[in-house]
Amino acid sequence: MTTTVDVIVLGTGSAAQSAAYPCREAGWNVAVVDYHPFGGTCQLRGCDPKKVLVGVSDLVDWSRRMQGKGASAPGLSLSWPDLIRFKRTFTDPVPEQTKRSFEQAGIITRHGRAHFVDRTSVQVGEEILVARQVVIATGACHADLGIAGEDLLTTSTQFLDLEELPRRIVFVGGGYIAFEFAHIAARAGAQVQVLHRGSRPLAKFDPDLVSMLVQASRELGIEVHVNRAVTAIERQGDHLLVHARTGAQVHTVEADLVVHAAGRTPEIDKLDLEVAGVAYGKEGVSVNEYLQSVTNPAVYAAGDAVASGGFPLPWVDLVIRHPEPTYRNGRPAWLHTPDRCVVQGRIVPPASSFIQLHLAQEGPAGTPVDQYLTKEDGAFELLAPQGAYLLRWWSPDERVIGERPVTLHTWRCEIDLPLA
Ligand SMILES: Cc1cc2nc3c(=O)[nH]c(=O)nc-3n(C[C@H](O)[C@H](O)[C@H](O)COP(=O)(O)OP(=O)(O)OC[C@H]3O[C@@H](n4cnc5c(N)ncnc54)[C@H](O)[C@@H]3O)c2cc1C
């Protein structure tokens, strides 16, 4: 069977959705394809479920640290099975909701693994989908490490679904997934080690902040080992042995669970990109500034499948601080009115586009109310009430091309932004 549409979108995650819906709204016939349940990594097995776990761990951590300082909750602990059950109340409805939402928008949905059969056609099962344009939004998957016993590794997806949390956990790799999960696991009572191959974990993050985080991790009881390359994993009885090296020195660690936190790689290897004449590299599909394949102009790519190094998403730098104190008897008095925070920042738009930043707060009836606007070299400063917002950025023709949730507290900002 052959189905002809205007645009095929491969994937159903954040990148796929940000292409599929506007194309459909513009009157195009759109088909989306995914071999996983619909919704993508962020909603089902990445950011969102992780934040549920982080949120509860944060609460437990705060309560423990405030013991004897006015809070009293002796023996407060984190119940892993309850936590995972709670997490599922967020993730379980996503595939059905996502599929329904596509279908309500008039978008054709197909479940299965797609691969190119010519420059603008893909095969899914027995069906051929033919289009004028194809968007590759197939995301990323765990990198192959090429070590013995690799199949004994638990992926981040499996970690987020563990029924019980084992006692001894080793994270292979020292990236953000390792640190976030290590902190959750340690607060849930596990003995945790992070084995990182390089000399500095979280290499893309600010070195001073990383040093503070490593120090705080160690104080929590997490063992962070650097220059430790994992070479093999082996089963021994009811536990696992993790073999690692520092130069010529060999280390072996016993664990009940070994988690793959050693990087993700664009999931493009089974797409038969050569058949479509789409150039790619280790970092993903090679694109120009319009996210268009540099070798096949009918193909675009977005999200984790792209070799863009973050481009062309805007780069946003935010600082949250209390309003300037008013002084009373020579003493700062802002602590008496800490319901507003000053947000300072700069937004650096990608080349060849003009971007405005809105902080939009959901109105009482669910209508977004645009509250703030930035211009002039992207620099802005505003006084915002505490609350949950959406940061939005817009193209010159006034289309919303990106948004991220942000929560402003007077003492901190929780923001989910792509790294530059
Ligand atoms: C544990 C974890 C925590 C994270 N936390 C954060 C965070 O806090 N903040 C943040 O910004 N980012 C976070 N990320 C990264 C974020 O989830 C990704 O950057 C984002 O989801 C990528 O979106 P995407 O649309 O490019 O791909 P995805 O959402 O991965 O969607 C790609 C989809 O394509 C499908 N697909 C692949 N190949 C094919 C094929 N051949 N045919 C059909 N379908 C195919 C896949 O099944 C998948 O559903 C996290 C990731 C993980 C794993």
Q: What is the CATH number of domain 2-142+265-305?
A: 3.50.50.60
Closest ligand 1 atom, residue 160 Cα: 1
Greater confidence (332 vs 143) lies with 143
Residue pair 33/112 in contact by the 8 Å Cβ criterion: yes
The whole-angstrom separation of Cα 214 and Cα 207 is 10
Instruction: Report whether CATH 3.40.50.720 matches the domain 150-262.
Output: no
Backbone angles phi, psi at 346, to 5 degrees: -145, 135
Task: Please determine, for residue 106, whether its predicted confidence score (pLDDT) is greater than 90.
Answer: yes
**111 Cβ closer than 6 Å to some ligand 1 atom:** no
Hey, what CATH topology would domain 315-416 get? Immunoglobulin-like (2.60.40)
Query: Residue 20: exposed, middle, or buried by beta-carbon count in 10 A (0-12, 13-18, 19+)?
Result: buried
Instruction: Look at strands 331-332 and 327-328 and give their pairing.
Output: antiparallel
**304 Cβ closer than 6 Å to some ligand 1 atom:** yes
Query: Residue 280: exposed, middle, or buried by beta-carbon count in 10 A (0-12, 13-18, 19+)?
Result: buried
- Strand ranges inside 228-339, DSSP E: 229-236, 239-246, 249-255, 257-260, 264-266, 280-281, 284-285, 299-301, 315-321, 327-328, 331-332
Tokens 């013995």 locate to 148
**416 Cβ closer than 6 Å to some ligand 1 atom:** yes
Write down the domain spans for the chain.
2-142+265-305, 150-262, 315-416
pLDDT score, position 125? 96
User: Which one, of 285, 289, 292, lies nearest residue 311 by Cα?
Assistant: 289
pLDDT score, position 204? 78
39: left (phi over 0), alpha (psi -120 to 50) or beta: left
Residue pair 124/33 in contact by the 8 Å Cβ criterion: yes
Amino acid of residue 19: A
DSSP-based helix, strand, coil % in the chain, nearest 5: 25, 35, 40
* d(CA 394, ligand 1 centre) in Å: 23
**50 Cβ closer than 6 Å to some ligand 1 atom:** yes
Instruction: Tell me, yes or no, if the two domains 2-142+265-305 and 315-416 fold the same way.
Output: no
Q: How confident is the model at residue 290 (pLDDT cuts 50, 70, 90)?
A: confident
**Residue 356 DSSP class:** -
Return the best residue to mutate from 8, 32, 36, 41 for the ligand 1 pocket (most ligand atoms within 8 A of CB). Answer: 41
Residue pair 250/243 in contact by the 8 Å Cβ criterion: yes
* d(CA 280, ligand 1 centre) in Å: 18
Instruction: Look at strands 191-195 and 284-285 and give their pairing.
Output: unpaired
* d(CA 40, ligand 1 centre) in Å: 5
* d(CA 306, ligand 1 centre) in Å: 12
**36 Cβ closer than 6 Å to some ligand 1 atom:** yes
pLDDT score, position 308? 66
Q: Over pLDDT 90: what percentage of the chain? A: 63
Tokens 């948004």 locate to 403
The runs of H, that is alpha helices, within 30-125 are: 40-45, 47-65, 80-91, 94-104
Task: Extract the tokens encoding 193.
Answer: 């080690």
pLDDT score, position 345? 59
**Residue 89 DSSP class:** H
Task: Please determine, for residue 256, whether its predicted confidence score (pLDDT) is greater than 80.
Answer: yes
Q: Supply the angle between the helices 176-187 and 47-65 in degrees, to the nearest 10.
A: 40
* Mean pLDDT for all residues in the chain: 83
Query: CA quadruple 341, 342, 347, 353: dihedral positive or negative?
Result: positive
User: Which one, of 180, 192, 196, 216, lies nearest residue 416 by Cα?
Assistant: 180
**138 Cβ closer than 6 Å to some ligand 1 atom:** yes
Task: Please determine, for residue 221, whether its predicted confidence score (pLDDT) is greater than 90.
Answer: yes
